[in-house]
Structures are given as structure tokens and as C-alpha cells.
Structure 1
Amino acid sequence: MREKIHIYHTNDVHSHFEKWPRIRKFLKERKSLHEANGEDVFIFDCGDFVDRRHSFTEGTLGKGNVELLNDSEYTAVTIGNNEGLTLPHDALNQLYNDAKFDVLAANLYLSGGTRPSWALPYQIYRTSKGTKIGVTAATAYYRPLYKLLGWELSEPLSELESQIAELQKQVDIIIVLSHLGMHDDEVVAENNPRVDLILGGHTHHVFMNGKKVNYTTLGAAGRYGEYIGYIEAEVDTGPFLWKNYTATLFDTAVLDNPPNAAEYIKDLDEIGRDLLQTEVVTLPEPLNYSWLEQSELPVILCEALYKWCKADCALVNSGLVLSALEKGKVTKYDLHRMLPHPINPCVVELSGTELEEVLLKAEESGLSELEFQGLGFRGVMMGKFVYHEIEYNKESGSIKIAGEPLDRERIYELATLDMFTFGVFLPPIKNARRKIYYLPEFVRDLMEWELKSRYA
């Protein structure tokens, strides 16, 4: 019997709710339309829907995001690294308590090796005409970081192969929800021709009309809700199985905006603001910031990082700080607005020669004015680099660490930001022989700790 099945997918929304009213309206209307025609509809999200950059997500620790997915009648989701690594263990373990959709994460385990009760390795859905659709999912392989939070990850490609082998005995269609990135999605398609669809994310790539790899159709919808992915599946299950998939993307910028969209978006921020009104400290004077000049708040943050990590010295970029603190009451909302980044402190071990290379690179003309987003950074530009227990004289080229001349043979512990271990900005940090990550604390937690010690 031939039937038409409609599949919608999102990925890497990152709590960019400015597009959500359009997405919500579109999905609800399309679902109603297809169901009125007697056709089945499935809606999936491929991870990083939760991002603590937004006050609503921060205030609800992601549970508000789950309510939004419930409201839009998602069928199933998988987790991305933002769900997995920016929430404390208990917060992730309870995140989906009220979910009305399935959560699929085949390669996520508790530290003892058992699966969390809320994370299914796969789920099988049956259409109204009897077609069986098997859906599995996997998330990016940041195993050492997950381990610090009390989770264990299996290698995603081999895990998916096991789940696909299990599903192909039972279903007519196999779908993978992937938060692995474009390259790994192509590898999965190359090695598993029985997979019909891979709906992907993580690397924020865009396939306007899908991409064919062997027998598999890949779909990807960019980032921040800029697109909604759509797959029209035509299936005939007998006497011979016949399938055809047509992929496209809908640009959310041209979709109808509901009349209450601005109010809806404002309400989400106000909910977060209200939940984050806990007072942290009372300041006797304002604290300012600058991205291109030495200023108070980046210096305080750098010193907090140094103390927290108990390192030899510290380095941060002033672009982290996005707002000043006024005299008087400072709340968790103020700190979140100032430092919204899901960025963790870390320590790297560098030789004196490598540390010198880092400082030379940090002081390079142009790097401080680099505009970028990603790797946890939710600001605008890199900003001037700020140091603690590092004295660097540009004119003479002399460097002192904790008041002593740099020893090129010595191994130093540098406190810095985890984003520099993932990005290419400062290669010696990315390639450091040893890296120690501190989770689940974010840089704003360190700022709160330092302000309390100074102004309690």
C-alpha cells in the first residue's frame, strides 16, 4: 500500500527563541494540514535545542525548552553537547521528566554502564497504514568531558551500527538523528546503506535539498532556527518495498509570524529574569568593561580563574564580558547577562617556549578584533587578552611569570578557557600535552565566587 509520510526536523536551535514563534506556528499548521489529509507526520530535533545563553533556559535549567518542544508536538529528540555538557548531572537526568516525546541517545550511559531510564537506544513508530519506522540517535563523542559529569559515552559510529543492525530486522524505514557533524554523518551513510535518512546537526551545516550518500538521504537545517528541515517520504510496502525521499528546507525568515510573536519572545526572557533574581552581592561602586582597553571586570574574571584553578598564571579574552555591573544589588540575572557563555575553566600544561608562543599570538594585531561565535562563546569579538601573574613587555619582548623571568624549559600551568582547547586561535593551548577541565562551573560561576569574596 502506497502512502505519503511527512517528516520535519530542526537542529542546533541553541535557545534562539527569536525564530521560535514562526517555527511553532508553521509546525502546528503543517501537522494539522497533513493529518486532515489522513497522512502521518513526525517531528524530530537533532540536539543543542537547549543553550544556557538565554535567561529562560538558564532560569529553568532547560525544562522550559522541553515545554516548548511539548507544545509543538515533537515526536522525538536527541541530545547535543549543550544538553549533555552544560547541565550538571542531576539537571540532565531530570531534564526530560515531563517530556511528551521520546528522547533517543543510543551512546549515552550512566557511569556504571547502564542506560538512563529516559534515554532510549531506538524507538519504532508505526504509521496509520502499517509502515514501521525505526529511529535511533547518537551524540558527539566528548567522552572525557561526559565522564567528568558522571556519564559514559560509547563510540557513536559503532553504537549506531549495532542499533541499525537491530532495527533492520524489524522495520521498513530507518532514520538516524545525529548530533555528530557532517563528516560523521557521511561515514554512517557510507557504512550503513540500509539507513534511509540521517537528520543531522552539530556542525551547523545546511543541505538545502538534502544530500545523497549512496542510498541514504542526509538532511541538515543549519543553526539558530534559521531553517526547518522537511522530508517528504513516499512508501509502498508491498508486494515489493519501494521508497522515495524528497528533502528541502523552509527559511523561517519568510514564514508567517504570529501577531503575538514579540510578546511571546519577551515573556520568555521575563520568565528567566524573574527566576534569576537571587541577589549575589551588593557593590559599593560600579564595575566597567572594555573589549579593547584594560578594564575592571575582565581583570577580576582573570584573577578568579587563577585562584579557582590554583595555576601558575591565567589568561582570558575581554570579549567574554558583555555588560557592566552597576553600583548596588547584583543578581544572578545580571551575571548571566554579563557572562552568558557555556564556557568552563580549564588548566593546560605548557612549556615556557609554548607559553611564549601563546602570548605572542594573543598580542598579534587583529586577533583581539576578531568577530566570531561558537565553541561556547556567545559574544561578539575576541577582545583584548588579559593576564594574571603574567607580565609581557611588547617593546622588549621580556616575559615574567609570577615576577620571575620566563624559563623556556619549565612546565607551567596556565588557567584559561576550555574554548581555546577546542579552537585554533592559540595552537599551543589546543595541542597542550595535558588539559584539566573543571565542570560543571561556568565562567559566570567563578565571577560570582570572586565577587562574593571581595564584597560579601
Structure 2
Amino acid sequence: MERIHIYHTNDLHSHFENWPRIQEFLLEQREYDRQKNEEVLIFDIGDALDRVHPLTEATDGKANIAALNQIHYDGATIGNNEGVGNSKKQLNQLYSEANFPVLLANLIDKETNLKPEWAELFKIYQTKSGHRIGVFGLTAPFPTSYEPNGWHVIEPDDCIPELLEILIPMVDSIFLLSHLGIEEDRKIANMYPMINLIMGSHTHHLLPTGEKNRETFVTAAGKFGQHIGHITLELAAGKIQHEKAEVIATCSLPPTANEAKLISDYEEQGHIQLKEQKIAYLPNAFSISWKGSSQLVNLGLKAIKDYAQTEVAIVNAGLFMKPLQKGIISKNDLHQILPHPMRVLTCTLDGENLERLILEMEKNRNYLRYFPIKGLGFRGELFGEICYDGISYDNESQTVYWQGAKVEPQKEYTLATVDHFLYVPFFPTIEIKGRNQVLFPFFIRDVLGQYLKRNYPIA
């Protein structure tokens, strides 16, 4: 009987406060298991980085890869924070110094029509007894975000059969590193029982002891490095005879030496590097309010209109986390004000559907003003007031005006907002009726920074 230990992390999202304990635990466990002459594999299942952390923003994620290198993972796949949280150029450079293979089977470079050079479709690992394990990775397909960034992302069902056809004759077991979410993992387990193990992520689900779906064992370790996944497999006669999963709470692990300093250094180094990149000089401050319009929101609306070349822009006031102070503005200021990994979205609608969209916004306005939205790229506290520039609504007559003129039902109109509005459930007209385009590569903080640089240059 041969025993394999598999440790897995996922959705760390740059939570460096948990990293010292994760690092020490994984390095010690690998050595401990190997001393017992047992096999060890360590994988990361994506979203290791998140630009909400200043060091990730300052280094374009390279600091996160340097941290993963300390473990010397056996393999990793990417999440949407790596895939669409970076420009194509940044993603192509992200893993240049990685000491682990990136396993990714559903992303194609639109220029070459080939997989990216930094990724492998799959990797085969062989144990001491000769048991061969084929491992491949898949990331969540967001074509609206990947396509304009120069990538073609493939749906899981369009690539899994071909991969299995290649792998089945070559290996004894098949593992999937899945950054697809729990429902997709369960679907894959039911459709493809020849996949023995799925290590999941993306939806931040925690499966403390795993779950069996037909022949497939499905596991996941939650979010933010709060848990580390551990799977034990027992092999005999070329097959997995027994599997067991557990999760280890990071908070239950002993503190590491100089832990507090290590964590604060990650944060401080990010702030230092971002402060060095000066953007503009403001002669006066720009105030904020989450529950109404404000100077900074109005400035942001103008910046978005200018970038998207539209007559109208719409944002929620809760995007803006802090006011802009008078004086020199750096990338650090912009990152603190707009930490969200959001981009500008243009949406083209006919007048009839534009009116429907504005009615959706007006209907939800009072509710959203105080709504504590989480996820889908939002890193703030409240959704806040919905703010318009270039469009208005008369509540008494229920009439929508575009640049002061009544909207015509058959005429086409293009407005700019943030891609977050496409993903939240409050404005379905955008997704259902809109002709939408996410503008790459810049985040909204970069868009604001470019506007400030042009209009408030440093003397």
C-alpha cells in the first residue's frame, strides 16, 4: 500500500497575514511525510494574488509568485485575479521566475492560437511505485473579460473530453485543479467519473472532509488562506483504494518567528513602492460621500467619459473609498481610493432599453444606497448612491433625458460604467440587452490617474 499526501491552497487573494504560517506548515509537513517515505504533492488552485494588496499592485503580482516559490509548489493553476486582473503583457510576465509549473488547459493566445508559453496543458507525476498521476488545470471562463484582453477562454466541456482522451492511456489516476466553482466541480464529477480527484476553488467553498460524487472525490479549502487542504490517498494494484480529506485552520497553527514584522513588511513595501510613482498635483481636495454625489464622484465620472469617449457615465458612489487630498497624488493614493479590480464597461442600448435600465436603477436606488455588497470585484463597504453624468431622470413624468433631450425609443445610445454593473443582479438589462465591451487594459484607478495627470500635471 502506497500513501500520497496532497496539500492544496486556493483563493489566497494576497492575504499575506496568513502566509508565514502556511509556508512553515507546508515546508515542515513535506519533510515530515518524506521522512516516512510517503509521497507529497503541493498545489495552488488559483487567485493567489489580488491587487487590493499594495504589494501585489506595486509588483504586478511578482511578489506573490516569489512567495509561492518559497514553497516550491508541484503545480498551480490560475484564477480570474491572475487571468483578468492583469493585462495580457503582465500575465505573460507573471510566471517568468516561477519555480513551479502552471497547469492550464483552457486558455488560448488569440494572436498565436496556441496555449500561452508559460503554461502546460497537463503534467504527469510518477510515484516511487510507478503510479502515474495526470494533473490538469482549468480556470473560470469569463469571455467578456478575457476576449478583449487578447485571450480566448474555452468552456470546460469543450476541452475536458480531449484531455481525457490523451491522459487516460498514459496514467493511472487523473486530478483536476479547478478554478471553476463548486457547482461546476460537481457537474464535472458527475459527467467525467474517470477524473479521480478535483481540488476546487473560485467560489470560496470549504469542504472540511471532501465529498464523493460518483467516482470522483471533490475537495476545497475555502478562502484567504484561512485553511490548508490535506488529502491522503492510499494506492494499491495501480488504483486509489482509499481517500480522506481534512482542512487545517491556519489560526490553529503556531505563530512563526517574526510573524508580525513579516506581515507588516509586505504591506509597507507595497505602500513605499506605490508612493514612489507620482501622478499629479491637486490645488484643492476632492471630497467623497457614499450616500450622495460628491466632488470626487463627479471627477470620476468625467474621467470615465473621457476614457470611454462617451457622452454619459454612471457609477456608484461606494466605489470611492477615500477623498483625494490637496497636493501630490501618487499611485498609492489612487490604490487606496479605488482598490477594486474593475475596468470601464461601455454598454450600447436602444432608447427603449436605456429607459428600462434607468428605471431599474431608480427602482433600486434607495436600497443600494445602504447595501453592503461583497465580491464580484467590489472591495468597498457600501454600494452607495447611483450617480449620473450626462443623463437624468424626471421622477414625476418617468422620463429619461440624454444630454437634456428626451430619449428616443429606436435610437442607439452608448454609456460608460464599470464592469461590476454587468455582474451584479440589479441591472439585468445591461447583460440581457446591452452590446457590452470591457475596455482593457486599465483599471478604473488607472483611468482616474491618467485624467488627473493630464488635467493636474506636476509642475
Structure-2 residue corresponding to 1:256: 254
Give 1:344 deviation, angstroms: 0.8
Question: What per-residue deviation string (whole Å, max 9, x for no partner) do you get for residues 206-229 of structure 1?
Answer: 222111110000011222222211
Instruction: For residues 308-330 of structure 1, give each alpha carbon's deviation from its aligned partner in whole angstroms, at most 9, with x where no partner exists.
Output: 11223110001111112221111
Partner of 2:48: 49
Q: Match for residue 429 of structure 1?
A: 430
CA distance in 2, matches of 1:99, 1:154: 24
Counterpart for residue 449 of structure 2: 448
Tell me which amino acid in the other structure corresponds to 1:235.
L
Deviation at 1:432, TM superposition (A): 2.8
Which range moved further: 338-347 or 16-25?
16-25
* TM-superposed deviation, 1:433: 3.2
CA–CA distance in 2 between the matches of 1:355 and 1:433? 9
Relative to 1, partners in 2 of residues 1:360 and 1:215: Cα closer, same or farther, differing over 3 Å? same
1:108 deviates by 1.7
242 and 411 in structure 1: CA distance in 2 versus 1, 3 angstrom threshold: closer
Aligned mates of 1:39, 1:185 — CA distance in 2: 28
* Paired AA for residue 334 in structure 2: L
Cα offset for 1:110? 1.8
Q: Which residue of 2 aligns with 1:279?
A: 278
Match of residue 158 from structure 2: 158
Partner of 1:87: 86
Q: Deviations over 1:326-379 (max 9, x none)?
A: 211110111111111110101112233433333333343221211122121111
Matched residue, 1:184? 184
Aligned partner of residue 322 in structure 2, secondary structure? coil
Aligned to 2:321: 322
8 Å Cα contact 1:347/1:413 also seen in 2: yes
Q: CA deviation at 1:177?
A: 0.4
Q: Distance in 1 between the 2:7 and 2:389 partners?
A: 49
Give the CA deviation at 1:101. 0.8
Equivalent residue number for residue 400 of structure 2: 399
Relative to structure 1, the CA distance from residue 253 to residue 362 in structure 2 (aligned partners, 3 Å threshold; closer, same or farther) is farther
Amino acid across the alignment from 1:308: Y
- 2:196 alignment partner AA: D
Amino acid at match of 2:180: L
SS at match of 1:203: coil
**8 A Cα contact 1:291 1:383, kept in partner:** yes
Corresponding letter in the other structure for 1:418: D
Corresponding letter in the other structure for 1:425: F
Report the alpha carbon displacement of residue 170 of structure 1 after superposing the two structures with TM: 1.8
Moved more, 340-349 or 410-419: 410-419
Instruction: State the alpha-carbon separation in 2 of the partners of residues 150 and 366 from structure 1.
Output: 37
Kept after mapping to 2: 8 A contact 1:352/1:411: yes
**1:211-269 deviation digits (Å, cap 9, x = unpaired):** 1110000011222222211111111135xx34211112222233323242221111111
Cα 1:213–1:397 change in 2 (3 A) is same
Q: How does 1:17-166 map to 2 (within 5 A)?
A: 17-111=16-110, 112-166=112-166
Q: 2:299 is matched with which residue?
A: 300
Q: Where in structure 2 are there 5+ consecutive unaligned residues?
A: none
Matched AA of 1:249: V
Q: Which amino acid in the other structure matches residue 313 of structure 1?
A: V
Distance 2:433 2:259 in 1: 47
The DSSP-based 3-state class of the residue aligned with 1:207 is strand
Identity of aligned residues (%): 39
Partner of 1:171: 171
- 1:200 and 2:163 equivalent? no
1:398 Cα offset (Å): 4.1
Contact 2:342 2:418 in 1 (8 A): yes
One-letter code aligned to 1:310: Q
Aligned CA-pair RMSD: 1.7
Q: Which amino acid aligns with 1:177?
A: L
CA contact (8 A) 1:49 1:65 kept: yes
Letter in 1 for 2:208: M
User: What is the match of residue 438 of structure 1?
Assistant: 439
Shift of 1:79: 0.9
Report the Cα offset of residue 397 of structure 1: 3.9
Q: How many angstroms apart in 2 are the aligned matches of 1:159 and 1:52?
A: 30
Task: Report the secondary structure of 2:82's partner residue.
Answer: helix
What SS does the corresponding residue of 2:289 show, helix, strand or coil?
coil
1:215 aligns with 2:215: yes
3-state DSSP of counterpart to 2:176: strand
Corresponding residue SS for 1:195: coil
SS at match of 1:369: coil
Matches of 2:77 and 2:182, distance apart in 1? 16
The answer (yes or no) to whether the contact 1:10–1:45 under 8 Å persists in 2 is: yes
Shift of 1:32: 2.1
Q: Distance in 2 between matches of 1:157 and 1:77?
A: 21
Is this contact kept in 2: 1:421–1:431, CA < 8 A? no
| C-alpha distance after superposition, 1:31-81 (max 9, x if no partner) | 222122121211111111121111111111111111111112211100111
Secondary structure of 1:250's aligned partner: strand
Whether the 8 Å contact between 1:5 and 1:40 is mirrored in structure 2 is: yes
With 210-219 and 223-232 compared, the bigger mean Cα shift is at 223-232
Tell me how far apart the structure 2 counterparts of residues 158 and 397 of structure 1 sit (CA, whole Å): 46
The question of whether the paired residues in 2 share the 8 Å contact of 1:137 and 1:160 is answered with: no
CA offset digits 1:358-407 (Å, max 9, x no partner)? 33333432212111221211111101111110223445544321111233
Aligned with 1:440: secondary structure? strand
Determine helix, strand or coil for the equivalent of 2:441.
coil
Rounded to whole Å, the distance in 2 between the matches of 1:159 and 1:29 is: 37
Q: Indicate if the aligned counterparts of 2:233 and 2:240 stay in contact, CA closer than 8 A.
A: no
Contact 2:144–2:437, Cα closer than 8 Å, also in 1: no
Q: Partner of 1:247 in structure 2?
A: 245
Count of aligned residue pairs for this structure pair: 453
